[in-house]
Amino acid sequence: MEYNVGDGPQETFVYVEPAPLDRNNSTSPQPPPSFSGRHVKFFNLLTVPIELYWEQETKTSLVKVLRPLSTAGITAFVDHVFSFRLREVVVERFRVRADASNVFSIPLKVVDRMSQYYQLPERTQPQEESYQWLTKTLVYNDFYYNATGRSFLSRYGRLPPRHFMWPAEYVGQEHKVENWTLTVLSCAPRVFEVRDFLSSTEVEHLLHLAQHKELQQSQVSDNAAANGTRSSYNTWIGRRESPLIEEVYRRAYNLLQVPHTLDVTEPLQVVRYRQKEAYKMHADFGYPDPSHPEQPTRFATLLLYLNAVAHGGETAFPLCGDLRVRPEVGKAVLFYLQTPDGNMDEKSLHEALPVIEGEKWLANLWFWDPVKDVASLQ
Ligand SMILES: O=C(O)CCC(=O)C(=O)O
Ligand SMILES: [Fe+2]
CATH of residue 295: 2.60.120.620
For residue 218, give the ligand 1 atom closest to its CA: 9
- Residues 214-220: contacts with CB under 8 Å, at least 24 apart: 215/272, 218/271, 218/279, 220/282
pLDDT of residue 224: 41
DSSP classification of residue 374: G
Q: Is 284 in the pocket of ligand 1 (CB under 6 A)?
A: yes
Same domain, 230 and 287: yes
Ligand number with the minimum distance to the CA of 337: 2
Q: Are 135 and 69 in contact (CB under 8 A)?
A: no
Residue 168 lies in a domain: no
Determine the pLDDT at residue 29. Answer: 76
Q: Is the CB of 315 under 6 A from ligand 1?
A: yes
CA 3 – ligand 2 centroid, Å: 33
Q: Which atom of ligand 1 is nearest to the CA of 305?
A: 3
Say if residues 82 and 52 touch (Cβ distance below 8 Å): yes
Q: Tell me whether residue 17 is in a domain.
A: yes
Q: How far apart are CA 178 and CA 329, in angstroms?
A: 20
Do 213 and 349 sit in the same domain of this protein? yes
Q: Where do runs of H (alpha helix) occur along 164-288?
A: 200-211, 223-226, 243-256
Same domain, 267 and 360: yes
Whether residue 156 lies inside any domain: the answer is no
One domain for residues 248 and 367: yes
CA 122–ligand 2 middle distance (angstroms): 38
* DSSP secondary structure code for residue 230 in this structure: B
> Could you tell me if 94 and 101 are in contact, meaning their C-beta atoms sit under 8 angstroms apart?
no
Q: Which atom of ligand 1 is nearest to the CA of 301?
A: 10
CA of 230 to the centre of ligand 1 (A): 9
Residue 155 domain-assigned (yes or no):
no
Helix (H) or strand (E) holding 128: helix 125-148
Any domain includes 166: no
Residue 375: how many other CB atoms lie within 10 Å: 9
Give the domain range for residue 141.
2-148
pLDDT value, residue 25? 75
Question: Does 153 fall in a domain?
Answer: no
* Whether the CB of 279 sits within 6 Å of ligand 1: yes
272 and 131 in a common domain: no
Q: What is the DSSP annotation of 317-358?
A: ETTSTTEEEPP-TT-EEEEESB-TTS-B-GGG-EEEPPEEES
Question: Is the distance from the beta carbon of residue 350 to the nearest atom of ligand 1 less than 6 Å?
Answer: yes
Q: Is the CB of 352 under 6 A from ligand 1?
A: yes
Q: Whose CA is nearest to atom 4 of ligand 1?
A: 352
180 shares its domain with 103: no
> Whose Cα sits closest to atom 1 in ligand 1?
352
Closest Cα to atom 6 of ligand 1:
352
- Ligand 1 atom closest to the Cα of residue 353 is 3
* Beta-sheet strand order (sheet of 279-282): 279-282, 350-352, 315-317, 323-325
* Shortest-distance Cα residue to atom 5 of ligand 1: 352
CATH of residue 81's domain is 2.60.40.780
Task: Tell me how many domains the chain contains.
Answer: 2
Give, for ligand 1, the residue of 235, 271, 285 to mutate: max count of ligand atoms closer than 8 Å to Cβ. 271
228 plus 355 within the same structural domain = yes
Are residues 203 and 330 in contact, defined by beta-carbon separation less than 8 angstroms? yes
Residue 305 lies in a domain: yes
- Distance from Cα 101 to the centre of ligand 2, integer Å: 23
Ligand 1 binding pocket includes 309 (Cβ within 6 Å): no
Question: Domain check: are 188 and 83 in the same one?
Answer: no
List the pLDDT tens digit at each of the 378 positions of the chain. Answer: 999 999 999 999 999 988 877 777 777 777 888 889 999 999 999 999 999 999 999 999 999 999 999 999 999 999 999 999 999 999 999 999 999 999 999 999 999 999 999 999 999 999 999 999 999 999 999 999 999 999 999 999 999 999 999 999 999 999 999 999 999 999 999 999 999 999 999 999 999 999 999 899 988 865 544 567 888 889 999 999 999 999 999 999 999 999 987 789 999 999 999 999 999 999 999 999 999 999 999 999 999 999 999 999 999 999 988 899 999 999 999 999 999 999 999 999 999 999 999 999 999 999 999 999 999 988
Give the residue from 342, 344, 165 showing the smallest Cα distance to 257. 165
Asked whether the beta carbons of 218 and 270 are under 8 A apart, the reply is: no
Q: Say whether both 195 and 101 belong to one domain.
A: no
Task: Name the helix (H) or strand (E) containing 129.
Answer: helix 125-148
* CA 171 / ligand 2 centre spacing (Å): 22
Instruction: Please report the atom of ligand 1 found closest to the CA of residue 362.
Output: 1
Q: Atom of ligand 1 at shortest distance to CA of 351?
A: 7
Cα–Cα distance for residue pair 280/6, rounded to 1 Å: 39
Q: Are residues 226 and 308 in the same domain?
A: yes
Q: Would you call 213 helix, strand, or coil by DSSP? A: coil
263 shares its domain with 329: yes
Of residues 171, 195, 182, 155, the one with CA closest to residue 338: 155
Distance separating alpha carbons of residues 287 and 271, to the nearest angstrom: 23
Task: Tell whether 47 and 138 lie within a shared domain.
Answer: yes
